[in-house]
Structure 1
Amino acid sequence: MTTTTIDTQPQLASFDVSGVWQGGLNTRVEARQFTLVVDEPPTIGGADEGANPIEYVLASLSGCVTVVIRTVAAELSVEVGSVETQASGTLDLRGFLGTADVSPHFQHLDLGITLSTTATPEQLAELQTLVAARCPLLNLIKDAGVDVRETWDVRDA
């Protein structure tokens, strides 16, 4: 098991985006030098010109988990051959539509991680524990009270 040194000095990082409504349900969002189009499918009243906000949350979670897996694996000197993620969540649209007193966020979220690695069972357990503890988006979703169903499919690298 790796020993952890506790750093008592904050190391704050700020992130900024700006969004401009483009009409309908479409928003153009600038993040650094990147442009994202946020829209809804026609079934919700959008023009389907981009992923919707919930899909971006799932995409962000997938990216965040991958970054944390790679970062922690490097710290543990664990070889990772590949990482694949799949995320899906279920909403009760009545919260968004305002037709019932239910939360508009995920009711539950399924996160599947397929990992090829040469990690021992002990290293894998430590990797999984540290990823769960250190992934900002995973913790944000869990802290909202969302039931996260996480599965790991581990294969030899």
Structure 2
Amino acid sequence: MTNQTEIAQNGVNVTALLGAREALRETPEAARFKWRATSEWVKGTHNRATVDGFFGLGGEHQHRQSYKFDSDHPEVFASEDKGATPVEFVLVGLAGCLTAGIAAVAQNRNIQLHSVKATLEAGMDLQGILGIDPEVRNGFDGIKVHYDIKADASAEDIAALVAQSQKRSAVFDVISNPTDVTVTTSKS
């Protein structure tokens, strides 16, 4: 009788990922990345952002293609609703980062995923950004992330996947810890 172990197929190349981690451990200067986005005003509150390339592994890299993201405000704000709001992009980034982490951790732990759905919700009191009440914060008052995960794993193992993803998520860290932001201007 042969004992065959099935390998989870979640679409994550864990061998390459772990190999990259080991290579970066040996050359930590290559682990210093700079991510970039540019945004151009279109009209009203409508903007179009582009992501083309980034710096990492000691050099410049280009994505396979330029990615474009339209942002705007909804019609209830007297805008044209030509894209998601910028704060919704923050939620999209958090969901994408955490979910990618869940897939990678599940693959590494040989847990077969069948579906992963994240639902995110963030409250905001507009009195802050509208200048009605200077005591009200401009940003979210909190973010709730709920996962519905179907996998060949126990509830405890699934909770551990989510916890490990959260622990290693760059976007979770950016949102939950203070990050220095410098804004400069130039006149064209």
**The two structures share one fold, judged by TM-score above 0.5:** yes
Counterpart among 54, 57, 63 of residue 90 in structure 2: 57
In 2, Cα distance between equivalents of 1:139 and 1:73: 21
Between the aligned partners of 1:47 and 1:125, the Cα distance in structure 2 is 40
Matched, 1:103 2:137: yes
Paired residue for 1:77? 110
Once the two structures are TM-superposed, the CA of residue 16 in structure 1 deviates from its matched residue by 0.9
In the superposition, the TM-score normalised over structure 2's length comes to 0.67
* 1:73-122 superposed Cα distances (whole Å, 9 cap, x missing partner): 11222211111111111111112112222221111212111111112355
Does residue 16 of structure 2 align to residue 16 of structure 1?
no
Query: Distance in 2 between the 1:121 and 1:45 partners?
Result: 45
Distance 1:42 1:124, change over 3 A: closer
Distance, in Å, in 2 between the alignment partners of 1:124 and 1:74 is 12
**Alignment partner, residue 138 of structure 1:** 172
Match of 1:152 in 2: none
Which residue, 163, 166, 170 being the options, matches 1:129?
163
1:112 maps to which of 119, 139, 146: 146
Task: Measure, in 1, the Cα distance between the counterparts of 2:82 and 2:156.
Answer: 45
* Distance in 1 of aligned mates of 2:38 and 2:94: 20
Task: Give the Å deviation of 1:124.
Answer: 2.9
Are 1:68 and 2:88 counterparts?
no
Asked whether the equivalents of residues 149 and 158 of structure 2 are also in contact (C-alpha less than 8 Å), the reply is no
Moved more, 103-112 or 113-122: 113-122
**Which runs of 5 or more residues in structure 1 are unaligned?**
145-157
Distance in 2 (alpha carbons) for counterparts of 1:50 and 1:41:
8
RMSD over aligned Cα atoms: 2.1
* Secondary structure in structure 1 of the residue aligned to 2:144: strand
Alpha-carbon contact 1:25-1:45 (below 8 Å) kept: no
Look up the equivalent residue of 2:161 and give its one-letter code: L
* Cross-structure match for 1:39: 72
Count of aligned positions: 140
| 42 and 121 in structure 1: CA distance in 2 versus 1, 3 angstrom threshold | closer
1:48-79, Cα deviation, whole Å (9 max, x unpaired): 11111011111121111111101111122221
Give secondary structure in 1 for the equivalent of 2:145. Answer: strand
Q: Which sections of structure 2, spanning at least 5 residues, go unmatched?
A: 1-21, 53-65, 179-188
User: Deviations along 1:110-149, whole A, 9 cap, x unmatched?
Assistant: 21111111123553343232112011222222225xxxxx
- Distance apart, 1:13 and its partner CA: 2.2
Q: Identity, % of aligned pairs?
A: 24
